[in-house]
């Protein structure tokens, strides 16, 4: 038996025959050519074919998965259409007399190594892999190499060194039991696609991929992160049982789709989802979330060189709002800083968690803040939108925000751009906000308690520091009192109150939250149905 440890991309247990997939490798030899015109034609034809193929992949992915995921392929198309790339390949052929395959390879490598060496920008660094993917595609076309993964009719565990996003997008999920790769990372585009397609997947197993494993029995345990080849009978039996338990519990939870989130005695609470992308909104919808309680918009701003434009933000907010319509979607304005570092704006801070983060950063950059507000207001015309603000500590901040909102509304009216009036809320995630929640309640339409930060600031324990026992203290009396005070003050002022920190999904506190009258729990998508199950089991 062979055992390899890996990282789980998509939870599940797959048992079945292994099929080794090896990427067809094009031959890259530098040859001096004389037929420049012919090589140029071979390159241009191959590039056109690659672009057509990518455009097809993009349409197919948009149909099968989402617009957002389809963008991976449009981005690849754009890389191929880069004038710099075209210029470099042409120069390799015309000036250096290299054959088309080698010319594409050289030009691709030069650009990829440029991307790979840009300092302190992991997003750009990852684009090097994209560049290699697209140039490989063109070279395969030049050499007429067929790169489609052909699967047998009986589903298999596909084992490879690594999978590209294109390869995963082209798979029919019903023919694949699991994807297992020797390399790869949980957040690569290929992994994101595997998750969206619901294919059980393990990456980074380090396994030496060899044809000798073809047709042998494999077990991809993407619950405990291991891959087994030819397990002994007893272990195989154990895995079958584990698989059955997993599938049964998933089926049982799926039965809860369409049911109410209420206790046996009929006490109700709204069960919302926390998301950070359009794809997650789709998953939330599939898991029957009653709305989005927290859309962490800062993920749109991270890992990129420039801020997303109003148009780009608008398109994403609109997509989320339309996905959930008519259910409510609460978009939280930018919460950069602290653990979501953004040194380009804040500079290096001694104590970033106590520094320019959340609303402080937005108020310091009014242009950026207004752009975001405009994008959210424009999206409000397409469904049920709420806006909330992170890291509030004072009434003055809320008053300033209100004035800025009025300005944005006035502008939109002047420009005849439609919007509705979104509900305005604040996060209660600092002890200060909880303690003045009686005053804040008069200024807003709802509260949402962020227990992650409320815990770190109340206990003076960094939520990032693994050495601190924050986890053991999450039920600390001080936090529960601040939550209770916030709920009381909200209700005195007749506004609803949600909890959107991790504590919302902590079933040990659910009964307590229901008892004190919390109106909404907003939890990670994966926790929705299991929390509903728990609530329905309570008296």
The residues that are catalytic are 189, 500
User: Of residues 92, 280, 342, 453, which one binds Mg ion by CB under 5 A?
Assistant: 453
The Cα 487–Cα 481 span in angstroms is 10
Nearer to ligand PEP, 188 or 451 (CB): 451
As a whole number of angstroms, the longest Cα–Cα distance in the chain is 85
Of 233-252, binders to ligand PEP (CB under 6 A) are: none
User: Of residues 92, 136, 290, 429, which one binds ligand PEP by CB under 6 A?
Assistant: 429
> What's the min distance (Å) between Cβ of 254 and ligand PEP?
27
Nearer to ligand PEP, 169 or 474 (CB): 474
Query: Between β-strands 226-229 and 2-5, what pairing exists: parallel, antiparallel or unpaired?
Result: antiparallel
**Residues whose CB falls within 8 Å of the CB of residue 521, separated by 6 or more in sequence, listed in order:** 269, 270, 271, 272, 293, 498, 499, 504, 505, 510, 513, 531
- Pseudo-torsion of CA 377, 382, 385, 387, nearest 10°? -20
Of 385-404, binders to ligand PEP (CB under 6 A) are: none
Nearer to ligand PEP, 58 or 297 (CB): 297
Ordered DSSP codes for 351-397 = SGGGSS-THHHHHH-HHHHHHHHHHHHHHGGGSEEEEEESS---HHH
Query: Between β-strands 497-499 and 520-524, what pairing exists: parallel, antiparallel or unpaired?
Result: parallel
Q: Which partner, ligand PEP, Mg ion, none, binds residue 451 by CB below 5 to 8 Å per kind?
A: ligand PEP
**How does 227-241 read in b/e, with b if 16+ C-beta sit within 10 Å?**
bbbebeeeebeebee
Is residue 337 within the footprint of ligand PEP (CB under 6 A)? no
Is residue 429 within the footprint of Mg ion (CB under 5 A)? yes
Q: Which partner, Mg ion, ligand PEP, none, binds residue 316 by CB below 5 to 8 Å per kind?
A: none
Distance of CA 509 to the CA centre of its chain: 27
User: Of residues 335, 397, 519, 520, which one binds ligand PEP by CB under 6 A?
Assistant: 335
**Residues whose CB falls within 8 Å of the CB of residue 488, separated by 6 or more in sequence, listed in order:** none
User: Of residues 53, 92, 342, 453, which one binds ligand PEP by CB under 6 A?
Assistant: 453
Q: Are 13 and 221 in contact (CB under 8 A)?
A: yes
Report the SS3 class of residue 332: strand
Is residue 502 within the footprint of Mg ion (CB under 5 A)? no
User: Of residues 231, 431, 450, 496, which one binds ligand PEP by CB under 6 A?
Assistant: 450
User: Of residues 200, 451, 489, 510, which one binds ligand PEP by CB under 6 A?
Assistant: 451
The Cα 415–Cα 352 span in angstroms is 39
Nearer to Mg ion, 319 or 454 (CB): 454
Number of chain positions touching ligand PEP (CB under 6 A): 10
User: Of residues 452, 488, 511, 530, which one binds ligand PEP by CB under 6 A?
Assistant: 452
Nearer to ligand PEP, 130 or 335 (CB): 335
The Cα 276–Cα 280 span in angstroms is 7
User: Of residues 141, 195, 296, 532, which one binds ligand PEP by CB under 6 A?
Assistant: 296
User: Of residues 483, 500, 528, 535, which one binds ligand PEP by CB under 6 A?
Assistant: 500
Is residue 291 within the footprint of ligand PEP (CB under 6 A)? no
Nearer to ligand PEP, 333 or 489 (CB): 333
Interface stretch with ligand PEP, choices 224-232, 239-247, 370-378, 448-456 (CB under 6 A)? 448-456
Interface stretch with ligand PEP, choices 20-28, 229-237, 323-331, 447-455 (CB under 6 A)? 447-455
Ordered DSSP codes for 418-461 = -----EEEEEE-SHHHHHTHHHHTTT-SEEEE-HHHHHHHHHT-
Interface stretch with Mg ion, choices 199-207, 324-332, 452-460, 505-513 (CB under 5 A)? 452-460
Q: Are 269 and 261 in contact (CB under 8 A)?
A: yes
User: 350 phi and psi, to 5 degrees?
Assistant: -65, -45
Nearer to Mg ion, 429 or 519 (CB): 429
> What's the min distance (Å) between Cβ of 299 and ligand PEP?
10
The Cα 196–Cα 179 span in angstroms is 13
Q: Exposed/middle/buried for 439, CB within 10 Å: 0-12, 13-18, 19+?
A: middle
Interface stretch with ligand PEP, choices 123-131, 248-256, 444-452, 483-491 (CB under 6 A)? 444-452
Strand order in the sheet with 226-229: 2-5, 226-229, 217-221, 13-21, 156-160, 176-181, 201-203, 7-10
| Number of residues in the chain | 539
> What's the min distance (Å) between Cβ of 463 and ligand PEP?
8
Q: Which partner, Mg ion, ligand PEP, none, binds residue 500 by CB below 5 to 8 Å per kind?
A: ligand PEP
User: Of residues 450, 495, 498, 522, which one binds Mg ion by CB under 5 A?
Assistant: 450
Nearer to ligand PEP, 452 or 493 (CB): 452
Residue 17 DSSP label = E
What is the C-alpha R_g of the chain? 26
Residues found near ligand PEP in the complex (CB under 6 A): 294, 296, 335, 429, 450-453, 500-501
* Interacting residue ranges for Mg ion, rule: CB under 5 A: 429, 450, 453
């Amino acid at each position: 038996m062979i055992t390899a440890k890996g990282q789980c991309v998509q939870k599940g247990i797959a048992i079945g025959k292994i099929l080794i997939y090896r990427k067809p490798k094009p031959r890259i030899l530098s040859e001096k050519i004389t037929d420049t015109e012919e090589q140029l034609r071979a390159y241009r034809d191959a590039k056109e074919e690659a672009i057509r193929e990518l455009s097809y992949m993009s349409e197919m992915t948009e149909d099968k998965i989402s617009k957002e995921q389809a963008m991976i392929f449009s981005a690849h198309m754009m890389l191929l259409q880069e004038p710099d790339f075209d210029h470099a390949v042409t120069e390799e052929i015309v000036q250096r007399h290299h054959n088309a395959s080698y010319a594409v390879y050289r030009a691709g490598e030069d650009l990829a190594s440029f991307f790979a060496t840009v300092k302190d920008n992991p997003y750009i660094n990852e684009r090097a892999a994209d560049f290699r993917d697209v140039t490989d595609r063109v070279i395969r076309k030049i050499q007429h190499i067929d790169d489609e993964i052909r699967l047998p009719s009986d589903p298999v565990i596909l084992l490879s060194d690594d999978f590209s996003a294109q390869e995963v997008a082209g798979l029919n999920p019903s023919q694949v039991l699991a994807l297992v790769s020797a390399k790869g990372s949980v957040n690569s585009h290929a992994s994101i696609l595997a998750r969206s397609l619901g294919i059980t997947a393990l990456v980074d197993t380090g396994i030496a991929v060899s044809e000798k494993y073809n047709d042998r029995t494999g077990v991809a345990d993407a619950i405990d992160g291991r891959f087994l080849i030819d397990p002994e009978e007893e272990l195989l039996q154990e895995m079958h049982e584990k698989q059955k338990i997993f599938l049964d519990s998933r089926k049982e939870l799926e039965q809860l789709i369409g049911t109410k989130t209420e206790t046996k005695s009929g006490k109700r609470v709204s069960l919302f989802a926390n998301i950070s992308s359009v794809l997650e909104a789709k998953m939330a919808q599939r898991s029957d979330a009653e709305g989005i309680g927290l859309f962490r918009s800062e993920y749109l701003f991270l890992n990129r060189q420039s801020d997303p434009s109003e148009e780009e933000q608008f398109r994403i907010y609109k997509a989320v709002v339309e996905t959930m319509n008519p259910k409510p979607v609460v978009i939280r304005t930018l919460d950069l800083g602290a653990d979501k570092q953004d040194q380009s704006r804040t500079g290096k801070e001694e104590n970033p968690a106590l520094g320019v983060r959340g609303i402080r950063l937005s108020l310091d950059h009014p242009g950026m803040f207004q752009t975001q507000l405009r994008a959210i207001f424009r999206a409000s015309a397409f469904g049920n939108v709420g806006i909330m603000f992170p890291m509030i500590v004072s009434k003055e901040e809320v008053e300033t925000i209100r004035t800025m909102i009025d300005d944005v509304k006035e502008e939109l009216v002047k420009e005849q751009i439609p919007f509705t009036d979104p509900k305005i809320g604040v996060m209660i995630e600092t002890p200060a906000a909880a303690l003045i929640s009686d005053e804040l309640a008069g200024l807003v339409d709802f509260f949402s308690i962020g227990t992650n930060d409320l815990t770190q600031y109340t206990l003076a324990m960094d939520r990032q520091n693994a050495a601190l026992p924050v986890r053991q203290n999450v039920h600390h009396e001080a936090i529960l009192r601040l939550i209770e005070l916030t709920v009381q003050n909200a209700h005195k002022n007749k506004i609803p109150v949600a909890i959107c920190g991790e504590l919302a999904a902590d079933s040990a506190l659910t009964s307590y939250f229901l008892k004190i009258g919390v109106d909404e729990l907003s939890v990670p998508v994966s926790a929705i149905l299991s929390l509903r199950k728990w609530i329905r089991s309570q008296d």
